[in-house]
Amino acid sequence: MRFRNVCLESIGAEIPTEIWSSEEVEQRLAPLYQRLRLPEGRLELMSGIGQRRLWPAGTLPSGPSIRSGQAAIEAAGIDRDRIGCLIHASVCRDFLEPATASKVHHGLGLSSRCWVYDVSNACLGLVNGAVQIASLIEAGSIDAGLVVGTENSRPLLEQTIAALNADTQLTRRSVKPAFASLTIGSGSCAWLLVRRELSQQGSPLESAIAEARTQHHDLCLSHDDSAGSQMQPLMDTDSEKLMAEGIATGVAALEQLLAENSITRDQIDRTICHQVGSRHRQAMLEAMGLSIDKDAVTFPWLGNTGSVALPLTLAAAAADQTLQPNDRVAMLGIGSGINSVMLTTRWASTPLAGNLADELNNHRSPK
């Protein structure tokens, strides 16, 4: 899928200020660690994640999403009546019905003629939403659109810790499916996309591709919870197989992306990948034949923030000037299911608004 008339005009990004270090998570798991004689420090050692962030208790996704969306709109300086589509695309949402996008649309004061709906696709939701909006713009149906989402890790972290401490039948082997849940972090991000002739400072989107290997849909499951503010989620993840099959899916998707753009790996200036952890990142980039020196990273200080991980990492790379004008940026999304969505853009001067840049400067852990 090629785009000729779409630009990423602005980014709004907000992250919580409450930080849980991996050491603190392990302290909360003291009953489990003592029972199984687990060595302290293994969580950060195995994942490369030193910190994750949490919204205040009781936070609904719509609140940070409204703030991120407002930041993106203000940074672009666009008339909000030109925004013809709003998609809320995170795993977390306020309720099962109606769409959380309805509340965000109202909070942002967008037009009554705006398309308003939710998209859900695990860690790919925001990227999928961006492709949908870009397609509407490319088709001439709308002038601009906003995709936004907020992931809230507190319920999953707290429920996982409580369940692990309470289950006295767990062994070192049976506890493994819960490990990924302890790496999850919180954050919010919004992308505003516009028709190219309306763009003042946006980065042109070039292409998007999708690769689906849904025979592996059962490797990461959250099946006992429901959407809403009182959700009590638990998640089972076959981390080893999910990583192997996810990387294989990503390798195939990258080949598609290169062919779609008629480029080689050497012509990619920067990569933005989904943020899972250090082992995943190294193995994925090696399998894809891509340089780790060209890759941006946020998981050491944000953890795995689900659908907003890739968008927040793009925002962080813009904030610390890792991205330079005219860089060809490949955004390499992979999510449980297993699906992959990848995008390319030519970076320009897309502005970033929200608290991400300040928090990055104040609290970011070393790479």
H or E element: which one contains 68?
helix 62-76
Determine the CATH number of domain 8-195.
3.40.47.10
Torsion of CA 238, 215, 207, 360, to 10 degrees: -10
Helix, strand and coil content of the chain, in percent to the nearest 5, comes to 40, 25, 35
Predicted confidence at residue 228, as pLDDT, reads 44
Tell me if domain 8-195 and domain 205-349 are identical in fold: yes
What are phi and psi for residue 316, nearest 5 degrees? -65, -40
Both tokens of 266, joined, read 């050497």
Neighbouring residues of 112: CB distance < 8 A, sequence distance ≥ 6: none
Dmax over CA atoms of the chain, in Å, equals: 63
Please provide the size of the chain in residues: 367
Quick one: which of 86, 98, 91 has its CA closest to 136?
Answer: 86
Predicted confidence at residue 247, as pLDDT, reads 87
pLDDT > 90: percent of the chain: 77
Q: Which residue has the higher pLDDT, 282 or 240?
A: 282
Predicted confidence at residue 50, as pLDDT, reads 96
| Side chain identity, residue 119 | V
pLDDT digit string, tens, across residues 299-317:
999 999 999 999 999 999 9
Q: What is the mean pLDDT of residues 232-254?
A: 71
pLDDT higher than 60, residue 225: no
23 given a catalytic annotation:
no
pLDDT higher than 60, residue 219: no
User: What is the bridge-based pairing of β-strands 6-14 and 352-353?
Assistant: parallel
Predicted confidence at residue 365, as pLDDT, reads 46
pLDDT digit string, tens, across residues 38-87:
999 999 999 999 999 999 999 999 999 999 999 999 999 999 999 999 99
Q: Of the residues 18, 23, 24, 97, which is catalytic?
A: 97
**Spatial separation of the C-alpha atoms in residues 342 and 256, rounded to whole Å:** 9
DSSP 212-252: E-GGGTTSEE--S--SBTT-----EE-HHHHHHHHHHHHHH
**Spatial separation of the C-alpha atoms in residues 17 and 3, rounded to whole Å:** 37
Q: What is the mean pLDDT of residues 344-363?
A: 90
Task: Please give the CATH topology (third level) of the domain spanning 205-349.
Answer: Peroxisomal Thiolase; Chain A, domain 1 (3.40.47)
Tell me the CA distances in angstroms from 258 to 134, 208, 323, one per residue in order: 20, 11, 20
- Tokens 């999953």 locate to 156
| Side chain identity, residue 21 | S
Using pLDDT thresholds of 50, 70 and 90, give the confidence band for residue 226. very low
Using pLDDT thresholds of 50, 70 and 90, give the confidence band for residue 280. confident
Q: What is the mean pLDDT of residues 202-210?
A: 96
Domain range list for the chain: 8-195, 205-349
pLDDT higher than 90, residue 298: yes
Predicted confidence at residue 367, as pLDDT, reads 40
The overall average pLDDT reported for the chain is 90
Q: What is the pTM of this model?
A: 0.92
220 given a catalytic annotation:
no
Torsion of CA 167, 172, 174, 177, to 10 degrees: 100
Q: Which residue has the higher pLDDT, 236 or 276?
A: 276
Q: Of the residues 123, 189, 220, 273, which is catalytic?
A: 123
DSSP 128-172: HHHHHHHHHHHTTS-SEEEEEEEE--HHHHHHHHHHHHH-TT--T
